[in-house]
Chain A
Amino acid sequence: MIQKSLRPSHAPPEPRTVGSREARTPMPDSPAPPDRGANASDIVLEVDRLSLYYGASRALDAISLRIPRKRITAFIGPSGCGKSTLLRCCNRMNDLVDGVRTEGDVRFDGVSILGPDVEVNELRKRIGMVFQKSNPFPKSIYDNVAYGPRVHGVTGRSTLDAIVEKSLRGAALWDEVKDRLHESALGMSGGQQQRLCIARAIAVEPEVVLLDEPCSALDPVATAKVEDLMLELMKDFTLVIVTHNMQQASRVSDFTAFLYLGKMVEFGETDELFVNPREKQTEDYITGRFG
């Protein structure tokens, strides 16, 4: 069983205790009727009986969950369980795949985002994303970070400079790269590239950042840095992270959803879910009996 005490020594100086967290946030409930539990205004994303089909095969099956604001929510589950698919529904990245069909709804601040009249580019500005494999553009570090703001109409050298510095500081990368902002981003190390992608994502000041297995291609040191960063970012952003690393989920997340074969098995507070899972399947998975 994984305990919070396993959190590595690089954790932020302010230890977060279960009590203090509960004091700050109302707890959303597990897959339950929408009116139960949390205060609706603190729910950023609400997934409501969402099913998703790739052609004829069903990848997600009537999933409902509510993601609280300025918290870290983790999706865990074995490969192919649909956790990445679920994540990519939140900013409509699944639109890029041919033959995708959805049922149910995803609401962002109470507004449905799956309809055809949704301005997808605006949505993606507000819900940013970091991918499994770092994917910096073949441009300079500066241009990578400034890309999003430029696309959204920010011009002016000084404004961009400020955004770039703020974002790189936010991604704990500034001190490492401030002297080579105009060198190619592809010359950075893997961990740096991933943090650059995070800086790029937060440069457009989204409300939610979706992270799709952000550390799966990184070594332990780089992983630790990114995890620290996530805890830091939680102050300003809502983070949703997909991971197949259960220690990671238990280290960084406040809430965890366990998905299996396209169904959501259990959703709850991370401590609760790892220490005292309600479902047999969850327990089997987190104790390593399968997956």
Chain B
Amino acid sequence: MTTAATKRIGRPDGAPPRTPHGRHFIALCGGALGFCLLLVIGQVVLIGSQGLAYFWQADLELFTLDDGARLLGEVTARETYSPPDAAGLVEKPARIQLHVANRDLGASDFVWVDERRIVARTFPADAALLQRVEWGDFHGFVRRLRRGEQVVAEGEAAWAALLARVDAGDALRAQLQALEKGELDDVNHELEKARLAERRVELDAPAAPERERRLAAIAAERTRLDARFRAIAERTAALRAELDAEVVDLVTASGQEKSLPTGAILSAIRPDGMGVFAKSGLYLRRVWEFLADDPRESNTEGGIFPAIFGTVLMVFLMSIAVVPLGVLAALYLREYARQGLMVRIVRIAVNNLAGVPSIVFGVFGLGFFVYGIGGTIDSLFFEEALPRATFGTGGILWAALTLALLTVPVVIVATEEGLAAVPRAVREGSLALGATKFETIWRVVLPAAAPGMLTGLILAIARAAGEVAPLMIVGMVKLAPALPIDRHAPFLHLENKFMHLGFHIFDVGFQSPNVEATKPLVFATAFLLLVLVVAMNLTAITVRNRLRRRYASSGV
């Protein structure tokens, strides 16, 4: 800048120059945004990579130690450490964590091995990994397959025979499960109905002939059901016998012997002999099992389908409850109520409601919904089932309603904003055509405010899907025996307890008997919850954008 120019339009002499564009401030703002992005991306990447790695099958490595001990397992970690004898060492020694499995034989699932003690590391091609119904995985070698004392196959032939038996076992287990979840479940259901009917007779205390007649009918029904039950029990016993008919003799790396009925084996693989292609197939199969199967062994194995289902259904029920409630309340506040002190107080109260800690809502839900309303329903309609509570205990309906209460302020605020954005001119246009106020609201204002309502719903879903604390006291459980939807009328059982991904993460990660094994499961479940919330949000956002396009405003 020339002196002349400075003279003409510059600052007074000696004054410090101003930064016209606030360059430093822009840098600060950009930095803050960048930091936020970094945190979010870091979170997704960490959870995603850790979670997705869980399904990949590593090779089984055989360690021979200096004292002759042999360990077979997957390497899960390596770190340097300071052993007691490390005082004089220049370089810190490393240790390796090995997942040796065989929980029923050894002391623990995972062992740490000092690298200095390892004499040899090999990848034996015949090292087998068996997934079992109980006790987690088995790492070792297959010796022979036998039926009773008679040997069916031995050596390498035993492996092929075992694979065939495992496949056959899959089919048998499927039959068994179909029987148990189908017919047996039906019979149990009918038996329970008979029990309740009997209890009803006691409660009604009818005259003697009527009483006799009803009890006789129930007894006849019982006899019939007992017969059916016995028939089914015979069939299941036969299936079980077939499952356990053949036994496989195994030996671990350290030479311990173990015999296992083939029916207890879910899958058998030899990871060291598998190529990348085969392992990829295995990966996809495991992801699918994770998504579609029930949990096993107190949630440390198997899938998490009930938790996914419970989360989605609960959020769905919550949406059904919260949208009408919030929208109607917002309509009254914005369209009908006289705007004055009272409305302002109500609005402040609604906004404050959004800040109430969620556990407080949980306590309220327990006291009001579960014990209050649920208890009343039980005493009125489910008297014969008492003292066992039907609705008077935590359940998915009460959980959904509690969360609806928790999220209703969000919906009210968003809907109010949507309503306020509908121009006065449009309302007048409708009124000038002879429409009543209700018709104007119903046919013009509400459709135009629909995107606002959906914004509220999106926020509500995002909040509700991740909420755990209040659910723990209104119906969420570690392991739900049955899904809230089943084959018995009325199909949707709102009183059932349910599983939830948020709680599942906590349970698997911090309440599990085998924390080391379930650590990756925490990440996998967390990643899934993340994906689920994003998916539900994206659905709502898509709907909203579609509505926005339909009611695209052009500055009216």
- By a beta-carbon cutoff of 8 Å, the part of chain A in contact with chain B is 91, 93, 96, 121-125, 128-129, 131, 133-139, 147-148, 150-152, 184, 186-187, 197, 200-201, 204
Report chain B residues within 8 Å CB of A121.
434-436
Select one of B435, B550, B556 contacting A135, CB under 8 A.
Answer: B556
B552 at the interface (CB under 8 A from A): yes
Asked whether, in the complex, the Cβ of B428 is within 8 Å of the Cβ of A125, the reply is: no
CB distance from B421 to the nearest CB of A (A): 11
CB distance from A99 to the nearest CB of B (A): 13
Binds A, one of B169-177, B178-186, B443-451, B459-467: B443-451
Report chain B residues within 8 Å CB of A93.
428, 431-432
Asked whether, in the complex, the Cβ of B447 is within 8 Å of the Cβ of A135, the reply is: no
- Check A184/B432 contact, CB under 8 A, given A137-B426, A138-B556, A151-B443: no
Asked whether, in the complex, the Cβ of B553 is within 8 Å of the Cβ of A186, the reply is: yes
Asked whether, in the complex, the Cβ of A148 is within 8 Å of the Cβ of B425, the reply is: no
CB distance from B391 to the nearest CB of A (A): 43
Asked whether, in the complex, the Cβ of A135 is within 8 Å of the Cβ of B429, the reply is: yes
C-beta contact mask, B423-441 vs A, less than 8 Å → 1, else 0? 1011011111111100100
A93 and B428 alpha carbons, distance in the complex (Å): 8
Given contacts A93-B432, A124-B433, 9 further A-B contacts (CB under 8 A): A124-B432, A131-B428, A131-B432, A135-B426, A137-B426, A138-B447, A186-B556, A187-B554, A200-B429
B551 at the interface (CB under 8 A from A): yes
- Check A204/B434 contact, CB under 8 A, given A133-B425, A138-B556, A151-B439: yes
CB distance from B420 to the nearest CB of A (A): 15
A151 and B448 alpha carbons, distance in the complex (Å): 17
A136 and B553 alpha carbons, distance in the complex (Å): 10
- Check A139/B447 contact, CB under 8 A, given A184-B550, A186-B553: yes
B429, B443, B551, most chain A CB atoms within 10 A: B429
Asked whether, in the complex, the Cβ of A131 is within 8 Å of the Cβ of B551, the reply is: no
**For chain B, what secondary structure do more than half of its interface residues adopt (helix, strand, loop), or is it mixed?**
helix
CB distance from B540 to the nearest CB of A (A): 20
Give me 6 A-to-B residue pairs in the complex whose CB atoms sit less than 8 angstroms apart, sorted by A's number.
Answer: A135-B425, A135-B426, A151-B435, A186-B553, A186-B554, A186-B556
CB distance from B454 to the nearest CB of A (A): 15
CB distance from B427 to the nearest CB of A (A): 8
CB distance from A182 to the nearest CB of B (A): 11
Report chain B residues within 8 Å CB of A122.
434
Report chain B residues within 8 Å CB of A137.
426, 429-430, 444, 448
C-beta contact mask, B522-556 vs A, less than 8 Å → 1, else 0? 00000000000000000000000000001111101
Report chain A residues within 8 Å CB of B425.
131, 133, 135
CB distance from B491 to the nearest CB of A (A): 36
Nearest 6 Cβ contacts at the A-B interface = A125-B434, A138-B551, A135-B425, A129-B432, A148-B433, A124-B434
A135 and B447 alpha carbons, distance in the complex (Å): 15
- Check A147/B430 contact, CB under 8 A, given A121-B436, A184-B551: yes
Asked whether, in the complex, the Cβ of A200 is within 8 Å of the Cβ of B551, the reply is: no
CB distance from A126 to the nearest CB of B (A): 8
A91 and B439 alpha carbons, distance in the complex (Å): 18
A122 and B429 alpha carbons, distance in the complex (Å): 15
- Check A135/B423 contact, CB under 8 A, given A151-B439, A187-B552: yes
